[in-house]
Amino acid sequence: MGHVPTYELRPAGWVRSPLTDRSAAPKQGDEGAPPARIEVDREFAEAMAGLEVGATVIVLTWLHEADRGVLSVYPRDDVTRPLTGVFATRSPDRPNPVGLHVVTIAGIEGTTLDVRDLEAIDGTPVIDIKPVLGPER
C-alpha cells in the first residue's frame, strides 16, 4: 500500500458544556443533551457570517477521548446486539474519531454560539460547522 499520508486538523473552536464525563453523556444530542456553547476561535469570526439563531447546523468535532484502535463495537453498548464494524455505527471509538452533531443555534454572541442537542463533552475540539442544506438551496 505504500506510504499513507497524514493530515493536520486545526480546531476552529471548542465545546463548552456541563457534560464532562464521556460515560455519562447521552449517546445522541436529542437524548437529553443539556444546552451547550461553541466558542469559535476569534481568528475564524468572519467564517461565522450568515449563521442565524434558529438555524440547524452540522457541527464536526474531534472526539479527543476516543480509542482509535477500536474497529468493531456492540451498537449502543448492548451486548445482545451483534458485534458491528464502527463504520456502520455512530460509535465515538474509531480510527478517525470525527463526531457529527446536528444542532440548533439558540443564540449568537460575538464568536460564541449557544446550541441545543450537542452531546459532546466540555473541551471537545470543533473542527468545522456546516449548514444543513435542504431542497430549496
- 25-131 is a CATH 2.40.30.70 domain: yes
| Count of alpha carbons within 13 angstroms of residue 127, beta-carbon side | 15
Separation of alpha carbons 131 and 4, rounded Å: 31
CA separation (Å) from 29 to 9, 37, 73? 24, 13, 20
pLDDT number for residue 30? 66
pLDDT number for residue 29? 61
pLDDT number for residue 33? 83
Question: What does the domain layout of the chain look like in residue ranges?
Answer: 25-131
Instruction: Write the pLDDT tens digit of every residue in 90-127.
Output: 899 999 999 999 999 999 999 999 999 999 999 999 99
Task: Supply the pTM of this predicted model.
Answer: 0.88
Tell me the pLDDT band of 76, cut-offs 50, 70 and 90: confident
